[in-house]
Amino acid sequence: MGQLQAGIIPVTLFQQNCTILFDTETKEGVVVDPGGDVEAIVEAVKQNGIMLKEIWLTHGHLDHAGGAAELKEKLGLDIVGPHEDDLPLLQRIETQAEKFGVPPGTMRNVVPDRWLADGDRVSFGDHVFEVYHCPGHAPGHVIFFNRQQKFAHLGDVLFNGSIGRTDLPGGDHATLLASIRDKVLPLGDEVGFICGHGPGSRIGDERRSNPYLVGL
């Protein structure tokens, strides 16, 4: 088995980090949060010779899950995650897309093949990720943690210098801070992470410098 590698494709007008996680030797991988621009995702996968096994979703917002149904159809992949508390969000993707002026049919409602819960594990090849349910930004938000490589995909829970917004339906600021305090920070300061928007960071750097984490 090779190293765990991550490639990022910013997609849609929200510039969401669609992430392709793959093994450098076997080229097996998964796509995390295909929010849209599915043709660009498929092309990147093809160009790099990656064999996708599954689609993983951190949460149900349209910029993260809007392209999942189309990608599943094109490549015949199962959709895994998020937590079932995000079902209402996943069923409202098309309505939300209309509000943002997204062309009809570009983003679609979706129901995953498998829901995830706190304590579950997902994997491809030898790369195993622990699943943590981290509500606050979205009720069913999950994060993926690879203990061996000290790497996490945090979706929209924690950003470089910021945290996920909580003014959307199902959002709650106190709940998000509790998720960060109880689930994210204990992963360890040395853990590097990719997030849903913008550049990644390390948990320790955020603990020290992120203004939203003061007092956690």
pLDDT for the residue 169: 87
Please give the chain's pLDDT, 216 residues, in tens. Answer: 689 999 999 999 999 999 999 999 999 999 999 999 999 999 999 999 999 999 999 999 999 999 999 999 999 999 999 999 999 999 999 999 999 999 999 999 999 999 999 999 999 999 999 999 999 999 999 999 999 999 999 999 999 999 999 999 899 999 999 999 999 999 999 999 999 999 999 999 999 999 999 989
pLDDT for the residue 128: 98
Which residues lie below 8 Å from residue 59, measured CB to CB, with a gap of 6+? 65, 82, 86, 89, 137, 138, 140, 141, 142, 155, 156
- Residue 38 carries which side chain, given as an amino acid letter? V
Helices 38-47 and 68-75 meet at what angle, rounded to 10? 40
| Domains, the chain, ordered by start | 4-213 (3.60.15.10)
* DSSP annotation of 50: -
